Amino acid sequence: MDLHSMDTYIKSLIKEAGHRIRNSFLVDITIETKSDANDLVTNIDKEIEQFFISRIRRDFPGHRILGEEGFGDTFEDLDGVVWMLDPIDGTMNFVHQKRNFAISLGIYENGIGKLGYIYDVVNDDLYHGIQGGGAYYNDERLRPLFDTSIEESIVGINATWITPNRYIDHEATIRLVQHVRGTRSYGSAALELAYVASGRMDAYISMRLSPWDIAGGKVIAEEVGAVTSNFKGEPANLMKQDTFIVANPSIHHRILSEYIRLK
Amino acid sequence: MDLHSMDTYIKSLIKEAGHRIRNSFLVDITIETKSDANDLVTNIDKEIEQFFISRIRRDFPGHRILGEEGFGDTFEDLDGVVWMLDPIDGTMNFVHQKRNFAISLGIYENGIGKLGYIYDVVNDDLYHGIQGGGAYYNDERLRPLFDTSIEESIVGINATWITPNRYIDHEATIRLVQHVRGTRSYGSAALELAYVASGRMDAYISMRLSPWDIAGGKVIAEEVGAVTSNFKGEPANLMKQDTFIVANPSIHHRILSEYIRLK
């Protein structure tokens, strides 16, 4: 792959998709429910995924597509070039707020992250990363993350994970909330990854994320030195839903070892 | 007071303050700690409060000023016209993120809210309300809130209040988190009030807010039908720090009666 020309192509594609999403605000949005009321799907989500797929099939016929809405390919491995796409990450925000959502896209070659994009559509803010080439917030290069401490950190964690749940001992996460400087929850995994990459938060953790939620952000975050893994400390598995943490490298291990107790 | 001419004056003043804040990003920020590390104060906070005070003293010499940074007047009552100002609401976000903070300003006459302003400085988004004259997001009039239910609601609540704390029984707020569609925490009371007023969240609750945190947002939120109170259901007391809820009118009572247990 020629990463530079791919990058130019993808930026243009993402901006066009963003334009389509902003235009959709002018018409009503039809909402279906998928598995439960928390998992809202809109027709815009589907349209945008199909827009990406049609362009990728036309311009990169050898590539495969893993998309949240399921119009892409089915996967048994990550061989070759795979586009991992969430056309609207933060669907609940999209529906309720018409903001605080993002297009999330990662391009992987044989399972290795090559290019990552998180596009905050409403603010027209694009975060992107190129493996070995750095991470960027619009045209500004993001700095490597400075060391920090738990006590000085802002951590992205949804209140759900502070309540009794099937994944982790919530008494341990209660201690995390009490020890950090502050917690936030913005409602979009992709934007929260972008916030960690740009030093606006120091960690973000979630109990169940899918490959398309993290694929783009992982490339961006790792370019500034952030560490990503599941809660066992293993590299994120891009074939299935799993626990996920992205953190400043100086606190990643301590969060997992002191504050996360898997059930 | 001539609310219309006051409104024009204040909008211009707020935009000028916002310009000064954005310019401050070009220079380093000196941070002191106030009572604890969570309560960051910057020199910009102070400069902006003093900028407001100098203009108000010059142009409205009979008015009094209640400001977070304490350069204003001391109060034993709310007689006459009082400006309640938080020059930078969401100081931790300001310092860590350089976004997700706001100028918060309410103008009260004999304790009655007349004008309210929340200015999202970085996005140049101004929310404002005029008693009896409606609430606005920039130039767009905000609609009265539609009825909703707990199960369909997005609620702003910081994870801290889901952990054991001195104010409320956290087991009850755990149930709230489990019953609503989703929770968020954006890290600025003023912006979260603005989100409720614009229907992007359905409620926002906090255990300890000061008059300057809520004064502007209260006017805006009430103009679209949102209900504000402390956790006893009493009108917010603008003379002291207190618990606070702003909510869609269809869920305000149910949140307080079923999910908030004061200690």
Residuewise pLDDT in 10s, chain B (263 residues) = 899 999 999 999 999 999 999 988 876 555 555 555 445 567 889 999 999 999 999 999 999 999 988 888 888 999 999 999 999 999 999 989 999 999 999 999 999 999 999 999 999 999 999 999 999 999 999 999 999 999 999 999 999 999 999 999 999 999 999 999 999 999 999 999 999 999 999 999 999 999 999 999 999 999 999 999 999 999 999 999 999 999 999 999 999 999 999 99
Q: Looking at the complex, does the CB of residue A201 fall below 8 Å from at least one CB of chain B?
A: yes
Q: Which structural domain range is residue A233 located in? A: 150-259
CATH of the domain at B35: 3.30.540.10
Instruction: Give the pLDDT confidence score for residue A34 in this predicted structure.
Output: 53
Q: A106 with A212, same domain?
A: no
**How deeply is A27 buried, as exposed, middle or buried, from its count of CB atoms within 10 A (0-12, 13-18, 19+)?**
exposed
Question: How many domains, chain B?
Answer: 2
Identify the CA nearest to B103 among candidates B230, B200, B13, B229.
B13
Contact B47, B5 (CB under 8 A): no
The conformation of residue A207, written as its DSSP 8-state character, comes to E
Q: A196 with A240, same domain?
A: yes
Q: B17 with B115, same domain?
A: yes
Collect all residues with Cβ–Cβ distance below 8 Å to B42 and sequence separation of at least 6. Answer: B29, B30, B31, B32, B88, B91, B94, B95
Q: A38 with A129, same domain?
A: yes
- Residue A146 DSSP SS3: coil
Least confidently predicted of A25-34, A72-81, B28-37? B28-37
**A178/B162 touch (CB, cutoff 8 Å), yes or no:** no
Least confidently predicted of A16-30, A238-252, B108-122? A16-30
**A162/B158 touch (CB, cutoff 8 Å), yes or no:** no
CATH of the domain at A197: 3.40.190.80
Closest CA–CA distance from residue A256 to any residue of chain B (Å): 19
- Position A73 confidence tier, pLDDT thresholds 50, 70, 90: confident
Closest CA–CA distance from residue A139 to any residue of chain B (Å): 17
Alpha helices in chain A (DSSP H): 3-24, 43-59, 91-97, 170-179, 189-197, 211-223, 249-254
Q: Looking at the complex, does the CB of residue A30 fall below 8 Å from at least one CB of chain B?
A: no
Q: Which of A94, A115, A141 is at the close of a domain? A: A141
Identify the CA nearest to A108 among candidates A85, A83, A130, A135.
A83
Instruction: Give the pLDDT confidence score for residue B231 in this predicted structure.
Output: 96
- Position A249 confidence tier, pLDDT thresholds 50, 70, 90: very high
What's the pLDDT tens digit per position in A113-160?
Answer: 999 999 999 999 999 999 999 999 999 999 999 999 999 999 999 999
CB B139: neighbour CB atoms within 10 A? 6
Q: Which amino acid is at B101?
A: F
Nearest to A38 among B123, B162, B181 (CB): B181
Q: Of A26, A181, A188, which to mutate for an interface test with B (greatest number of B Cβ within 10 Å)?
A: A181
Instruction: Give the pLDDT confidence score for residue A72 in this predicted structure.
Output: 86
Q: Which of A141, A163, A187 is at the close of a domain? A: A141
Q: B174 with B94, same domain?
A: no
The conformation of residue A260, written as its DSSP 8-state character, comes to -
Q: A187 with A126, same domain?
A: no
pLDDT of A40 higher than 80: no
Instruction: Give the pLDDT confidence score for residue A75 in this predicted structure.
Output: 87
Instruction: Give the pLDDT confidence score for residue B32 in this predicted structure.
Output: 56
| C-alpha–C-alpha distance, residues B208 and B218, integer Å | 15
Q: Which of A141, A173, A204 is at the close of a domain? A: A141
Instruction: Give the pLDDT confidence score for residue A159 in this predicted structure.
Output: 96
Contact A231, A262 (CB under 8 A): yes
Distance of CA A181 to the CA centre of its chain: 24
Q: Looking at the complex, does the CB of residue B34 fall below 8 Å from at least one CB of chain A?
A: no
Report residue B227 as tokens: 């209900």
Q: A120 with A169, same domain?
A: no
Instruction: Give the pLDDT confidence score for residue B37 in this predicted structure.
Output: 46
Q: A8 with A135, same domain?
A: yes
Q: B111 with B222, same domain?
A: no
Closest CA–CA distance from residue B6 to any residue of chain A (Å): 30
**A200/B97 touch (CB, cutoff 8 Å), yes or no:** yes
Q: A200 with A242, same domain?
A: yes
Cα dihedral value A122, A125, A130, A134, nearest 10: -160
Q: A112 with A172, same domain?
A: no
Q: Looking at the complex, does the CB of residue A26 fall below 8 Å from at least one CB of chain B?
A: no
pLDDT of A27 higher than 90: no
Q: B7 with B130, same domain?
A: yes
Instruction: Give the pLDDT confidence score for residue B11 in this predicted structure.
Output: 98
What is the phi-psi region of residue B124: left when phi exceeds 0, alpha when psi lies from -120 to 50, beta otherwise?
Answer: left
